[in-house]
Chain A
Amino acid sequence: EVQLVESGGDLVQPGGSLRLSCAASGFTFSNYWMFWVRQVPGKGLVWVSRIDNAGSRTSYADSVKGRFTISRDNAKNTLYLEMNTLRSEDTGVYYCARYGDYVTGFQHWGQGTLVTVSS
C-alpha cells in the first residue's frame, strides 16, 4: 500500500525558515515524480513544486520561486521542501502527492502537515 507521511510543519515567524519532509513507503520511490500541494485552511488547493524521479529536474509555482527548494533522497525514500523567507501567505496545510500508475492525476496523498507563518 502506498503511504506518504509528511512532517515538519510548525508555527514560524515571517522571514523564517522550515523544512518539510515526506516519508514514502509501499512503492519504489525512485521511479516516481513527486509533488507538493498547499491548501490554506478553508480555501482551495495550490500546486507548489515538483521534482523528477532522479531529483535532477524541479519546477515551482511563481509564488514560491526563489524561496522554496524541493529535493529528495531516494536512498531514504524521502521528499523534502526547504522553505525560506516565509510569508503569511505561505500558511497552509502542505501535502506531498504522487500520480497513480498510468493515472495522470494525484491518486496518492499524504495526510498533510500544517505550516503557520505568523508573528
Chain B
Amino acid sequence: QSALTQFASVSGSPGQSITISCTGTSNDVGSYNLVSWYQQYPGKAPKLIIYEVNKRPSGVSHRFSGSKSGNTASLTISGLQAEDEADYYCCSSTDTTFIVFGEGTKLTVL
C-alpha cells in the first residue's frame, strides 16, 4: 500500500487561507469517509485535527476544515496564523491494510 500523495510543501501569509490536498485511490480515500488529518510540530507527537473527512475534535479551532471529492481529500486552514506552521498528514482507511497515511505537507507561514 503506497502512501497517500501530498505536496511536500505549501506556504501562505498570515490571514490567508490555504488548502492541503491528499490524493489516494478508489481503494482508500475514494471508498471511505474515514479520512483524518494530523498536525505535527517538530519533535512532538501528531495531533488529530479532522476526522471522518470534516469533523473537528473538541478543542480544535474552527479555522480548520476538511472535505473530500472523489479520491482526493482536502484540509483548509483559514485565517492563517504563525502557530499553524507545522507538518500536516492525512490518513485514510483502505481496502488492503488497515489504514494508510499521506506523505506529509510542510506548511510555512510567511
Which residues of A come within 8 Å of B, CB atoms? 43-47, 50, 59, 61-62, 95, 100, 103-107, 109-112
Among B56-110, those with CB < 8 Å from A are 57, 89, 91, 97-104
Q: Which residue of chain B has its CB nearest to the CB of A44? A: B104
The answer to whether B45 and A100 have CB atoms under 8 Å apart is no
| A46 to chain B: closest residue by CB | B101
A44-B104, A100-B48, A105-B50 known, 15 other contacts, Cβ within 8 Å: A44-B89, A47-B100, A47-B101, A62-B1, A62-B97, A103-B51, A104-B36, A105-B57, A105-B91, A106-B48, A106-B91, A107-B57, A109-B47, A111-B45, A112-B45
Interface of B is mostly: strand
Whether A103 touches B48, Cβ cut-off 8 Å, given contacts A45-B38, A45-B89, is yes
A26 smallest CB distance to B (angstroms): 16
CA A61 to CA B99, docked complex, whole Å: 9
Q: Find chain B residues with CB under 8 A from A46 CB.
A: 3, 101
- Give min CB distance, B99 to chain A, whole Å: 5
**What residues on B are CB-neighbors of A103 within 8 Å?**
48, 51, 55, 57
Q: What are the residues of chain B within 8 A of A44 when measuring CB–CB? A: 3, 89, 101-104
